[in-house]
Amino acid sequence: MSKSDGQRAADLRRELAQHSYRYYVLADPLVPDAEYDRLLRELQAIEAAHPELVTADSPTQRVGAAPAKELGDVEHRLPLLSLDNAFTDDEVAAFDRRIRERLARTDPIDYACEPKFDGLAVALTYEDGVLVRGATRGDGVRGEDVTQNLRTLRSVPLRLDGESVPRMLEVRGEVFMPVAGFRRMNAEAELRGEKVFVNPRNAAAGSLRQLDPRITASRPLEIYFYQIGVIEGVERPATQTGALELLRTVGLRTCPENRCVRGVEGLLQFYSSLGSRRSTLPYEIDGVVYKVDEVSLQERLGFVSRAPRFAIAHKFPADEELTTVRDVEWQVGRSGALTPVARLAPVFVGGVTVSNATLHNYDELQRKDVRVGDTVVVRRAGDVIPEVVRVLLDRRIPTAVAVSPPLRCPVCESPVIRVEGEAVTRCSGGFHCPAQRKESIRHFASRRGMDIEGLGPKVIEQLVDSGRVLSAADLYGLDMASLTSLDRMGEKSAANLLEALQKSKRTTLPRFLHAMGISGVGEASALSLATHFRSLSALMAAGTEEILAVPDIGPVIAQNIRSFFSDTQNEEIIDRLLASGIQFEEMAAPESGGVLAGKVFVITGTLDGMSREQAAQLIRANGGKVSTSVSEKTDFLIAGNEPGSKLMKAEKLSKTVLSLTLLLELIESLSSHRQHR
């Protein structure tokens, strides 16, 4: 190999990267496609003759990995959150009003506006400018590893370029299939007699999640980047508009439709303008996204639940179609709530064939006066959940049948009750009801419950239907024989499940409380209860007034907790669970003001499963102090999604940065350690 071969290969890689940047990011190509292909073939020839010259970021390596046996899991460094939706101009105006009220502002707010792509959200990580990992959104906390598939997309740079390349960058984007590419791909599939995709979104999702990257490479996928998640080594821009500009300067493609507007009038003008051109865009969108442009204002606004207060998705009107109601059936949930579901004559709505639609509850069913035999308007609410919008009364047939809630549960035939003040009717069967039993066991075994790996819905359904499992306590009496008798359950799977059951016996009090499925008690409430009462026996013996003393516990949830532990059946199940070997280190009594006494915390970004206010109350309940700014006095920074400048300052001051999960583990660990000192 001559020195000139190595230099030529390096020059070709740089030139091809520049051409890709001009083509995908700037939409201003310097050379025709044929010239790009000629340069790529020259590089391929050099690398074929001298394999030692091949680099990971070479454009020849976009399809270089063997097919995977399965897609692995990736835990996102910061969760990918969802957005609240607005469907009307009034809801957008209310969003703007809430923003200004929280900020005590009367002048118009600047907003960054972007199309809301109908594709698949992904997070890509670059280290020292090189793509090292890519994952789907998944559940927001964990996604599927699709690194090799993302490498096949020409619009994904394998190496960032420019003067401001971060040391580490986690960036969010949307993978989509352009309409023209989708139509061409389907036409080719039809000619080959193969199955065609229903819509571009399904095609994009299915293509990106292929086990063989070569299949992904053959599909016309593209990507737009829209958000910085984590950035290190370069100062985070002060605005969302600035963040998009930074992404462009390092070679990441952003949508040319993005705009910065002022006030609610600007928001609605952007929505109207883009909506009027929606059918002419080269890709599908289902709305627009508004974000407060200034990052410091985003931090002040914070988050509620799993959605930011500073952003909202303004959805386009959902697709609607007419169909007829064939029947109305009642589904039973974990709490016994009966939900009416309309069984429909199948109809194609928004790219999906719909045959079932929710009617929410009996009050809603009555309000809309839906009857069996009616012609109804069906909509995919938010383009996701099918619902019955209204009845066409002028088409009502004389034999249409009015619907009433059943007097007895359709699953277990227990009496149906309706609690005063609630909109739902409930089965009174409790754990006697197989439907409630299945849902409660599914919750008990979930990742955020007892985390029993391998105990999926189909296994639970068989266990309950066969009578082997009547409550969560019965899970720990299962053996190899009872499991291998189930459909699709071999000895290896059964052994793995038994091992997972054994492993789950070692847990924590907060996790155990959450797994019990007490109405209204989520992870944050479970931790508050465990921190306050410190033992299961103390909580079970507590009266309603004592429970009300726990931070974040209101009167309704307090009564739910008291009722749950007053039920003799629940008490028996708990006794059996403890007798089966479930154990947890109960929370120790605080000493000297609590286990976090003397420590100063700062909270930034969104926290998965808990609001910042709840986290602050939890820290204070354990003796810690909460400050609003990072300084030399800060001990810990609790960082969630989009942490902003506080994270950079904490890292600059060498302060310890924790996620919410690590904070909860820290409190439990310190409490247990104090108990055993």
Looking at residue 613, its pLDDT comes to 66
Rounded-to-integer distance, Cα 266 and Cα 93, Å: 11
Q: Strand 85-86 to strand 311-315: parallel, antiparallel, or no bridges (unpaired)?
A: parallel
Instruction: Give the start-to-end residue ranges of the domains of the chain.
Output: 3-61, 85-315, 320-395, 430-504, 509-584, 600-675
Which CATH architecture group holds 509-584?
Orthogonal Bundle (1.10)
Q: Strand 636-639 to strand 656-658: parallel, antiparallel, or no bridges (unpaired)?
A: parallel
- The superfamily in CATH containing domain 85-315 is DNA ligase/mRNA capping enzyme (3.30.470.30)
77-to-15, 447, 550, 653 alpha-carbon distances in Å: 33, 18, 31, 21
Helix (H, G, I), strand (E, B), or coil: what is residue 199? coil
Catalytically annotated residues: 116
Looking at residue 306, its pLDDT comes to 67
443: tokens are 């919750």
CB proximity list for 398: less than 8 A, separation 6 or greater: none
Helix (H, G, I), strand (E, B), or coil: what is residue 213? helix
Rounded-to-integer distance, Cα 454 and Cα 12, Å: 50
Rounded-to-integer distance, Cα 510 and Cα 523, Å: 7
Tally the residues of the chain.
677
* Same fold yes or no, 3-61 and 320-395: no
Rounded-to-integer distance, Cα 148 and Cα 326, Å: 46
Looking at residue 240, its pLDDT comes to 96
Structure letter (DSSP) for residue 479? -
34: tokens are 């044929």
Looking at residue 20, its pLDDT comes to 73
Fold of 320-395: OB fold (Dihydrolipoamide Acetyltransferase, E2P) (2.40.50)
One of 3.40.228.10, 3.40.50.40, 3.40.50.970, 1.10.287.610 is the CATH number of 3-61, namely 1.10.287.610
Looking at residue 211, its pLDDT comes to 81
Rounded-to-integer distance, Cα 401 and Cα 343, Å: 14
Cβ proximity of 330 and 406 under 8 Å: yes
Rounded-to-integer distance, Cα 171 and Cα 226, Å: 8
Nearest CA among 54, 39, 40 for reference residue 6: 54
Rounded-to-integer distance, Cα 598 and Cα 522, Å: 28
Sign, Cα dihedral of 662, 126, 157, 61: negative
- The superfamily in CATH containing domain 430-504 is 5' to 3' exonuclease, C-terminal subdomain (1.10.150.20)
The order of strands in the sheet holding 120-127 is 130-136, 120-127, 168-176, 222-232
Cβ proximity of 356 and 365 under 8 Å: no
The ranges of the chain with pLDDT < 50 are 382, 590-591
CB proximity list for 504: less than 8 A, separation 6 or greater: 450, 451, 452, 582
Q: Which CATH number applies to 600-675?
A: 3.40.50.10190
